[in-house]
A and B are shown apart, each in its own frame.
Chain A
Amino acid sequence: MFLAIKEMLHEKLRYSLIVALIFLVSYLLIILTGLATGLANLNKAAINEWDASSIVLNSDSEGRLQQSFLSQDEVASLPNNGTRISQYSTLVKSENGLKENTQLVGLDSKSFIFKKLKITSGSKNIRNNAGVVSDKFKSDGFKIGDHLLVANSSLRIKITGFTPRATLSALPVVYISPDTIQPLNKGVTNAVVFKNKLENSKIPKGTNQLSISSFIKKLPGYSAQQLTFDFMIAFLYIIILIVISIFLYILTVQKLPNLGVLKAQGVSTQYLILSTLFQSFIISVIGVIIAIILGEITAITLPSEVPIVIDKSNIIVTGIGIIIMSLLGALIPIRQIAKVDPYKIIGG
């Protein structure tokens, strides 16, 4: 790869420009992927923490928790190892004026979901109008022992503990007991969540079982949001492919006379092709590494309101994706190299 390295070192400006372009597009890709992941997490983090396999909802609810109301008979006919979920969206205030839009989730303290909940501070107690709340409350200034005043109600919920990654449809969750939520939703059970998938024979008429992944896709706005991001990310990959192809094509066309002479002198086409692929690999790796470093710095410095999550798996997938696109982008110039006829360059 002697030839490839020497060329890049000699033509620093040209290759720096390509690296800069790859960096910019990669940076945008990393930020977009981070935002897509962050927003997805905001919608589904609490559900992921439940570590469940399926959910049973009313057949007419279209998979939406808020629209699902299960009768007592339906709930009673389901296996009793499920966690009954009651949900109520509302605004809560602290006594010192802090406000938060929230999802109140009523569940039994003996349920598998409640047992699974992790606590970052305080205790796991939801008896007597107590609640375990998302640690988003903590970052917004709420403390253990604070009382949450539920809007349009006389209900006061005492914060006993904070739990991580507890957001549902982009709102922080407050876990409370069925007794506490009862005055707000009149004791309605919206869904029953199961650790394992149920056999169809155990699903009562008028209800519908969904896998947790299908349930997440039906969260309001979730699929539309993720598809929009997926399209933007796909277009960015295509842009990387086009940009690298054009740049390498122009560079290759400019050096065709040299390539012809090198071929005449016994340099194999394979060596010249590998040289170009190596250059493409190196410039994309440099561009991606700079983009990852800057992406991480951006994620750290952005305000916490921006839901950006740059995790290792995203970085690996994005990095490999960009490098593959760069290598694919080198295919057109490679064709030029394979086709160059030394005789035509030397002339007759």
Chain B
Amino acid sequence: MSNLIFESVTKVFGEGSSKYVALENINFKAESGQLILVVGPSGSGKTTFLTIAGGLQTPTEGDVKINDSTIKSLSEKQQTKLRLEKIGFVLQSYNLVPFLTVEEQFKLVDKLKKQNLTEQKMHELLSDLGLLELLKKYPNQLSGGQKQRVAIARALYTDPDYILADEPTAALDTDRSMKVIELLRDLAHKRNKIIIVVTHDLRLKNTADKVYQIIDGKMQMIN
């Protein structure tokens, strides 16, 4: 049973007059089998929350625990390994390597993880997301929505325990958005993943197991 816990997490940027509190005393817990939505306006601290959850930043105060071990106690190498093996990121932009075809984006993961799942798993994922015909295309040959769906497929490809998604439906129409969220919810429920989606897309509110809102660095559960 995986879990992700924020214990009194505060993140402050800058000092003195330029001091800015991005997150303030956040207590949060996610467990396997949950799709969690974090909503809030631009600049509210949503992405900061997500990057701290993924170990890309350390909190100024408090602790973040993944499976009961504190992220900041891990070495940089261990954190890199954690991200490669346990966490799948879906980011707003620059998500795909521009000089790799869709197929090669998956092969890169294979090379890094020293595995070879390409054919079967990749085809399964791409088929679920309606992307099979794009295998030989480069990112600059894809639409915004196609890029986002490939990025989601790639994040899922490593079969991570956690998926951290930053605006995964930003470039998608309502139909595609709902399909992506349904896919993420199925993954959370059927394969016991923790999926945290940061978004300002309020159309998705009713699809999640829990919904949190961040405003001015403060987080509260709203659903």
Shortest 5 CB-CB distances between A and B: which pairs? A266-B84, A10-B99, A266-B83, A257-B94, A348-B48
Contacts of A6 in B (CB 8 A): 99-100, 104
Query: What's the least CB distance linking A254 to chain B, in Å?
Result: 10
Tell me, yes or no, whether A3 is within 8 Å of chain B by CB: yes
Can you spell out 25 A-B residue pairs with CB atoms less than 8 angstroms apart? A2-B108, A2-B111, A3-B97, A6-B99, A9-B99, A10-B99, A11-B99, A257-B93, A258-B94, A262-B97, A264-B54, A264-B56, A265-B84, A266-B80, A266-B82, A266-B85, A267-B112, A342-B56, A343-B56, A346-B47, A346-B56, A347-B47, A347-B92, A348-B13, A348-B57
Chain A: residues with CB nearer than 8 A to chain B? 2-3, 6-7, 9-11, 257-258, 260-269, 271, 342-343, 345-348
Determine which of B77, B89, B99, B100 lies in contact with A264 in the assembled complex, contact meaning CB atoms within 8 Å: B89
Do A264 and B104 touch across chains, with their CB atoms under 8 A apart? no
Please tell me which one of the listed residues A3, A260, A264 contacts residue B83 in the complex, with CB atoms under 8 A apart: A264
Asked if residues B94 and A345 are in contact (CB atoms below 8 Å), the reply is yes
Interface assignment of B37: CB less than 8 Å from any CB of chain A? no
Please determine whether B166 and A268 come into contact, CB atoms closer than 8 angstroms.
no
In Å, the complex CA distance between A344 and B94 comes to 13
A267 CB, nearest partner CB in chain B, Å: 6
Q: How far is the CB of B84 from chain A (nearest CB, A)?
A: 3
Interface residues of B (CB under 8 A from A): 13, 22, 45, 47-48, 51, 54, 56-57, 77, 80-85, 87, 89, 91-95, 97-100, 104, 107-108, 111-112, 138, 155, 166
Distance in angstroms between the alpha carbons of A343 and B77 in the assembled complex: 16
Checking A9, A11, A260, A269 against B94 with a beta-carbon cut-off of 8 angstroms, the contacting residue is A260
Residues in chain A near residue B94, CB distance under 8 A: 257-258, 260-261, 345
Are the C-beta atoms of A261 and B91 separated by less than 8 Å?
yes
Query: Complex formed: what's the CA distance from A166 to B57 in Å?
Result: 73
B residues less than 8 Å from A342 (CB atoms): 51, 56
Dominant secondary structure of chain A at its interface with chain B: helix
Q: Give A263 to B138 CA distance when docked, in angstroms.
A: 21
| Smallest Cβ-Cβ distance to A268: which chain B residue | B80
A261 to B95, CA, bound (A): 6
Give CA–CA (A345, B51) in the complex, Å: 11
- Write out the residue numbers on chain A whose beta carbons fall within 8 Å of the beta carbon of B13: 348
Instruction: Please count the residue pairs between chain A and chain B whose beta carbons lie under 8 angstroms apart in the complex.
Output: 74
Q: In the complex, how many angstroms separate the beta carbon of A342 from the nearest chain B beta carbon?
A: 5
Chain B residues with Cβ below 8 Å from A2 are: 107-108, 111
- Please name all residues of chain A whose beta carbon is closer than 8 Å to the beta carbon of B77 when the two chains form the complex: 268
B47 and A348 contacting across the interface, CB-CB below 8 Å: yes
Q: Across the interface, which residues of B come within 8 angstroms of A267, CB to CB?
A: 80, 84, 112
What's the Cα separation between A263 and B91 when bound, in Å?
13
B56→A7 contact, CB < 8 A: no
Please give me the residue from chain A that is nearest to B81 by CB atom: A266
Residues of B within 8 A of A269 (CB): 80
Q: Whose C-beta in chain A lies nearest to the C-beta of B43?
A: A348
Which residues of A have CB within 8 Å of B45? 348
What CA separation (Å) do A304 and B152 show in the bound complex?
67
| B93 partner residues in chain A, CB cutoff 8 A | 257
Closest to B82 in A: A266
Knowing A2-B108, A2-B111, A7-B99, say if A265 contacts B48 (CB, 8 Å): no
**How far in angstroms is the closest Cβ of chain A from B95?**
6
On chain A, the residues within 8 Å of B138 by CB distance are: 10
Q: Which residue, of A3, A262, A266, has the highest number of chain B Cβ atoms within 10 A?
A: A266
Which of A7, A265, A343 counts the most B-chain CB atoms under 10 A from its CB?
A: A265
Chain A residues with CB under 8 A of B112: 266-267, 271
Contacts of A9 in B (CB 8 A): 99
Tell me, in angstroms, the Cα distance from A199 to B169 when the chains sit together: 90
Residue from the set B57, B92, B97, B98 with the largest chain A CB neighbour count within 10 Å = B97
**Residue among B57, B89, B100, B107 making CB contact with A265, cutoff 8 Å:** B89
User: Does A264 contact B97, Cβ atoms closer than 8 Å?
Assistant: no
Q: Which of A7, A268, A269 has the most CB of B within 10 A?
A: A268
Partner of A343, one of B57, B108, B155: B57
Chain B neighbourhood of A7, CB < 8 A: 99
Question: A271 to chain B: which residues have CB within 8 Å?
Answer: 112
A346 and B81 within 8 A (CB): no
Other 8 A-B pairs with CB < 8 A, given A3-B97, A3-B100, A345-B94: A10-B98, A261-B91, A264-B91, A266-B81, A266-B85, A342-B56, A346-B47, A346-B91
